[in-house]
Amino acid sequence: MARIACLLVVDFPLAAILRTEPDLRGRPVATVERDEPRAPLTAVSAEALRLGLRAGLSIAEARTLCHRLVIRRPSTELLRSATEALIDVADSFSPRVENAAPGVVFLEIEGLRSLFGTESHLATSLVARLRRVGLEGRAGTASTKTVAWLAARASEGVDVVKPGEERRRLAALPMTILEPPPEVTVTLERWGIRTLGQLAGLPSTAVSWRFGDVGIRLWKTARGEDDGPLVPLPRPQRFEESVDCGYAIDSVEPLSFLLRAALERLTARLEVRGLRGGDLTLALRLEGGGLEERVLHVAAPTNEVKALLAFARLELERHPPSAGVEWFRLAAVAEKLRSVELDLFVPAGPTPQDLGLTIARLAAVAGIDRVGCPAVIDSHRPEAFHVTRFAVGATCAAKANVSNGRSPLVLRAFRPPAAIEVMYDRGRPDFVRADANHEKFGGRVVTLAGPWRLSGEWWRDSPFVRDYYDAELSDGGVYRIYRDHGSGDWFADGVYD
């Protein structure tokens, strides 16, 4: 028999608010669906309950009871982000997950005993991981979805209903746990029905005749029966966090404070899924109705908030928004951290995670376009190259190619080439001296090889024609030098190591 776990977040709209505004924890908070004085409260915090507030009171009534009450109306984007965070936690445990209702997900846990030992440990791990993404919840496990949901509803943390104990465990639960309509509640109290066991003992025909479909649904729930099997549906892997600023923000510092909180929530979701944050997309809704979007290219996937925040700050400082920011959405491309097989004969280098973090920090300081790997481009010009992104996860080992006892000669290129002065003797270079602005070197030419003419890019506005020499100088160094035919100037292209 399959085993099902239910992960439940009570008062989900309120939990979504507290996830984005953790400083409200411990204060009287309530949520509403409309910003009107007569709008009813949909959920209230424990602190508000202690002050006599309850769901159903209007905003005006609640204000008279507690002037310190904080009222929030959760947006659609905020609720969606909280729902995706809840599903991310369930997905990190099982591939079969059903999003049943706001704040309620079911997951199949059959076969996870070898990983967690007991179902109690599994349920505790679910709640603990849910807390990591900023949500407080409960967990219950049973043989059916209904029983697992009732176990989570009745518990204060986690509850495990063993096979064969479903009817006995449900029988003692009060009818209020099902939250029946008021007219049904009044009738059942008149009949003396106050527990699920008493309701489950009534004939189904009598319940159907008296209460219709609502009564049958309550009766099946009291018996622990499911309306259908677990229905896992594929969903896009999307990691987004939206923030309503409340007012137009026209400076980077207060916007960075909100960006940091959004990044913390985003990286927490990536962390529980075993993923890393890649390129970021920042969509800004501006004062006056404008919309701007920025793509932040990350040098290497990382979940370090400080490095990702530095990317965002640099982008906003280089290209400030054209108006105050009223709302923004931050999305991340999820990247998997690939394992690397080490070479037995090569010293171990940094792990891909540490290397990626270092690259991300360097890019945040120097700029994303200045950190990467050099790569050749389709050109005959020797110094032509461009910078590509590091491929973190693959190892590169430079091995000396030793044959016949001789080591290879490597040219250490000067970029840009160093300007030099060359003196001639019978038309050939005889003495070389480096420009004062570059590394000092120079001396008489001891051995000279060349010239080798190199030309190209005649089809462009800046063609080149050069004569290259390899020159051993009296200072002991061997240099590659060349003369540019266009200007007549001499340059040192590099030194042989």
Q: Which two tokens stand for residue 93?
A: 């445990």
* pLDDT reported for residue 494: 85
Is the CB of residue 492 less than 8 Å from the CB of residue 434?
yes
- Residue 400: pLDDT band by 50, 70, 90 thresholds? very low
At 444, list the tokens: 């008489």
Task: Judge whether residue 154 has pLDDT over 80.
Answer: yes
Rounded-to-integer distance, Cα 172 and Cα 141, Å: 18
Note the pLDDT of residue 131. 94
β-pairing, 4-8 vs 104-108, is: antiparallel
How far apart, in whole angstroms, are the C-alpha atoms of residue 383 and residue 494?
11
User: Got the DSSP string for 383-428?
Assistant: T-EEEE---TT---------BTTBPPP-EEEEEEEEEEEEEEETTE
Q: In this structure, is the dihedral angle defined by the CA atoms of residues 100, 57, 179 and 212, taken in order, positive or negative?
A: negative
Residue 302: name the closest of 367, 366, 237, 352 by CA.
352
Does this model's pTM top 0.75?
no
CB 380 within 8 A of CB 468: no
pLDDT greater than 80 at residue 380? no
Percent of the chain with pLDDT over 70: 91
Q: pLDDT per residue over 316-371, tens digit each?
A: 888 889 899 999 999 999 888 666 666 777 777 666 556 666 776 777 677 767 77
Give me the pLDDT at residue 375, please. Answer: 79
Average pLDDT in the 171-191 region?
A: 90
Task: Tell me the per-residue pLDDT of 199-211, one tens digit each, with 9 for 90 and over.
Answer: 999 998 888 999 9
Residue 145 has a CB neighbour count (10 Å cut-off) of 23
Residue 404 reports pLDDT greater than 60: no
CA distances from 324 to 249, 294, 308, 386 (A): 5, 15, 22, 36
- Is residue 258 within 8 Å of 246, Cβ to Cβ? no
> Where are the domains positioned within the chain?
4-160, 166-222, 247-336, 411-496
What confidence category does residue 402 fall into, taking pLDDT thresholds of 50, 70 and 90? very low
Q: Which residues have CB under 8 Å from 3's CB, separation 6+? A: 108, 109, 110, 119, 141, 142, 143
How far is Cα 70 from Cα 48, in angstroms, rounded to an integer? 9
What string of DSSP letters covers 330-394? Answer: EEEEEEE----PPPTTS-----HHHHHHHHHHHHHHH-GGGSSEEEE-S-S-TT-EEEE---TT-
In this model, does residue 251 exceed pLDDT 60?
yes
**Which class would CATH give 247-336?**
alpha beta
User: Is the separation of the CB atoms in 468 and 480 below 8 Å?
Assistant: yes
326: its two tokens? 């009223």
Helix (H), strand (E), coil (C) string for 161-197? CCCCCHHHHHHCCEHHHHCCCHHHHHHHHHHCCCEHH
What CATH number is given for 166-222 in this structure? 1.10.150.20
Q: Render the burial of 273-294: b for 16+ CB within 10 Å, e for the rest.
A: eebbbbbbebebbbbeeeeeeb
Q: Which CATH class is domain 4-160?
A: alpha beta
Handedness of CA 295, 299, 303, 306 (dihedral sign): negative
Question: pLDDT of 415-428, one tens digit each?
Answer: 788 888 888 888 88
Question: What is the tens place of the pLDDT at every residue in 308-322?
Answer: 888 888 888 888 898
